Amino acid sequence: MRVRLGLLINFHILTGLNDSTKVKKNKVALEVVGAQKSFGQVEVLKGIDLEILAGERVGLMGPSGSGKSTLLNCICGIEPLDKGLIKVAGLDLTGLKQGELEKLRRENMGYVFQSFHLLPTLSAFENVEFAAQLVGITKDERIKRVTDLFEQVGLSHRMDHLPNALSGGERQRVAIARALVHQPGLVLADEPTGSLDTESGSQVLELLKSLSSNLQVALLLVTHDHESTRICDRVITMKDGSLIAE
């Protein structure tokens, strides 16, 4: 059920209606101001302020239940804020129509989840190509980019495999290629090494680091593990819905 829900959410993130919003790369990849969010009586985000510059890698740590995933869900527009604002590539999410929000998400954000969320009936190559197809990249360019990314994540020999024929670490490397193929300004990664062994986790982190550097992509990396934040430029910590001093 969890997996199915995840796939659904992922599909929802990846797809969207066409419209004419033009997204420009901005020096500030993400701006969050006074973000508040409650579920019923429970205040989960209590006024979050956060700015991430283009190409910057920021680690987000904090105990389970402190609101990290909720913040990511608000940043990618799955959950609306109760109060405050979130700007991605200079565009305020709250001011966008549904189609515009989906376009912003599809074109300017990438996602890496703990449980990969690859589409099970598509090959590794097709999973990555699909994300490129959604933003209108031509067939020739798609093949070039996807082939090149598979080389960079070290999986050229696994491109035709279905996800369930790949190890966890390999699936996550495919998911990283998918998150980056459309060259978004911002990648959100929620515990990307949470279900991997130490060695695969380490490879995944190094890939996130090198690819985000090469492509100048900002990264917000949620992790439990202090060691994972070695790839980050800075680390912020969340506790009970608030960020505590860096």
Residues near Mg ion, by CB under 5 A: 69
Compare residues 74 and 181 and give the one whose CB is closer to ligand ADP. Answer: 74
Q: Specify whether the CB–CB gap between 117 and 7 falls below 8 A.
A: yes
Residue 67 partner contact from ligand ADP, Mg ion, none using kind-dependent CB cut-offs of 5 to 8 Å: ligand ADP
The distance of closest approach from Cβ of residue 135 to ligand ADP in the complex, given in angstroms and rounded to an integer, is 28
Closer Cβ to ligand ADP, 185 or 241, answer by number: 241
Any residues with CB less than 8 A from the CB of 109 and at least 6 apart, and which? 13, 76, 88, 184, 185, 186, 187, 188
Considering just the CA atoms, what is the radius of gyration of the chain in Å?
17
Q: How far is the CB of 86 from ligand ADP (least distance, A)?
A: 15
Q: Which is closer to Mg ion, CB of 69 or CB of 223?
A: 69
Q: Is 74 helix (H, G, I), strand (E, B) or coil?
A: helix
Q: Which two tokens stand for residue 39?
A: 């579920």
- Residue 110 binds which entry of ligand ADP, Mg ion, none, with Cβ cut-offs from 5 to 8 Å by kind? none
CB of 30 to ligand ADP, least distance (A): 17
Contact of residue 123 among ligand ADP, Mg ion, none (CB under 5-8 Å per partner type): none
Nearer to ligand ADP, 112 or 153 (CB): 112
Report the nearest approach of ligand ADP to the CB of residue 62 (Å): 6
Nearest to 82 by CA among 31, 34, 30: 34
218 contacts: CB under 8 Å, gap ≥ 6: 29, 30, 52, 53, 54, 55, 56, 57, 58, 185, 186, 187, 212
Taking the C-alpha atoms of residue 52 and residue 199, their distance in angstroms, rounded to an integer, is: 28
Tell me how far, at minimum, the Cβ of 66 lies from ligand ADP, in Å.
Answer: 4
Cβ(75)–Cβ(33) under 8 Å?
Answer: no
Binding partner of 244, given Mg ion, ligand ADP, none, CB within 5-8 angstroms per partner class: none
Which residues inside 25-84 make contact with ligand ADP, applying CB under 6 A?
A: 39, 42, 44, 62, 64-70
Is 92:37 a contact under the CB 8 Å cutoff?
no
Total residues contacting ligand ADP by CB under 6 A comes to 11
Interacting residue ranges for ligand ADP, rule: CB under 6 A: 39, 42, 44, 62, 64-70
